[in-house]
Amino acid sequence: MATGVRANFQRRGFAFAAVAAAALLVAGCQQAPPEPTPEPSAEARPVGSSQPLAVAFSPLRGTSTDPAAPAHPSLAAKIDNHEDARPQIALNRTDLVFEELVEGGLTRYLAVWHSDLPDDIGPVRSIRPMDPDIASPLGGVIAYSGGQDQFVAMMMATPLVNVVFDLDETGLFSRADERPGPHDVILDAAETMARNAKLAPPPVLFDYGTADPLADPALAAAPTSRIALVFSEGRSPSWDWDAGSSSWLRSQEGVADLEAGGARVRATNVVTLEVGIDWRYGEVPKTVLIGSGEAWVSVGGRTAHGTWAKDAAASPIELTADDASPLRLAPGNTWIELLPERGRASFTP
């Protein structure tokens, strides 16, 4: 508007400009019309009303869960792996399973349930001398059918509550009619844990990462389609990677390993530890788990090499990669294969 006024002043003279200036002065003294007031929105928009969601992680699986869910003890049990004991009950609901050499070249399991507690587990068998070193870090409850007096005394000396078939007078154990003895002892897991609900939950035993924790090139993880292990002439478990289910599928002596109900036994993580064997107890071998040795962690169709170390019965197993970084597991269930030094392990691309 000011530029237009100057242009007219030049063409029509001073008088016209004076009139125009007076008009502008009068207009400037008038108030501008008020801005329209915006109408309120029909729906008020909430601001800052949502609450943050609490997140917890399962100590023995590394999976996310409701904060209240892990606040209970774990249940460890000695599970039979004789041919007549198969199929076992609820192995796929475990958090951890340790496979160990026992007499006669057979293997047995020390299985641990915490995230997903079944009603029943079994078949339950007798304790062995390495089991206190395996179970001590967990706390909670340990269930077994009995054992040599010296082995029972060793387990009784741990912090765990011992639930023993040979000593049970309260009906926690029963025998399954459809199974041959002595591979027929079944534990009422739900009732066992209800009676011991006030015990502390287990601590974290392993480091967990992403769903693909071996992706870092520094770990030098090798593609693996099959893990083949030889514990003895009579025990050769193996695991095949199944990309469709993102899990390792288990076989024993070349036959698909099934749990009761017909599902294939599977694991998110397979940890293979090379261990020494102590023969001080005659024909009963004791896995040497206080010390260190070679380790292989198999996750997501890959295997990374490293070492394991455990400095006391109550200490967890530490897994370290060859580059000195922690060997982490993927969130999920884990099988720990305690492979004797005289055994064999192969990891097929």
Is the alpha carbon torsion for 332, 338, 341, 345 positive or negative?
Answer: negative
What pLDDT is attached to residue 45? Answer: 41
Distance CA 345, CA 77 (A): 26
pTM across the whole model: 0.85
Give bridge partners of residue 173 from the DSSP assignment: 187
Are 295 and 306 a contacting pair, CB within 8 Å? Answer: yes
Spell out the domains of the chain, with CATH numbers in brackets.
56-195 (3.50.90.10), 217-348 (3.50.90.10)
Distance CA 284, CA 228 (A): 24
Distance CA 63, CA 166 (A): 36
Could you tell me whether strands 269-281 and 284-288 are parallel, antiparallel, or unpaired per DSSP bridges? antiparallel
Q: DSSP class of residue 324?
A: S
Query: Which tokens in the block code for residue 180?
Result: 């041959």
Query: Which tokens in the block code for residue 33?
Result: 């019309």
The tens place of each residue's pLDDT in the chain, 349 residues long, gives 333 333 332 333 333 333 333 333 334 434 444 555 545 444 444 444 455 556 689 999 999 999 989 999 999 999 999 999 999 999 999 999 999 999 999 999 999 999 999 999 999 999 999 999 999 999 999 999 999 999 999 999 999 999 999 999 999 999 999 999 999 999 999 999 999 999 999 999 999 999 999 999 999 999 999 999 999 999 999 999 999 999 999 999 999 999 999 999 999 999 999 999 999 999 999 999 999 999 999 999 999 999 999 999 999 999 999 999 999 999 999 999 999 999 999 999 9
Distance CA 53, CA 346 (A): 44
Instruction: Name the residue with tokens 């993580």.
Output: 269
3-state secondary structure of 133: helix
Give Cα 29 to chain centroid, integer Å. Answer: 78
What pLDDT is attached to residue 55? Answer: 65
What pLDDT is attached to residue 21? Answer: 37
Give Cα 231 to chain centroid, integer Å. Answer: 25
Measured between alpha carbons, how far is residue 157 from residues 101, 319, 325 in Å?
A: 23, 27, 35
Query: Which tokens in the block code for residue 161?
Result: 């509550």
3-state secondary structure of 86: coil
Are 291 and 310 a contacting pair, CB within 8 Å? Answer: yes
Give me the helix-helix angle, 2-12 and 14-29, nearest 10°: 150
Degrees to nearest 5, angle at CA 180 with 103 and 143 = 60
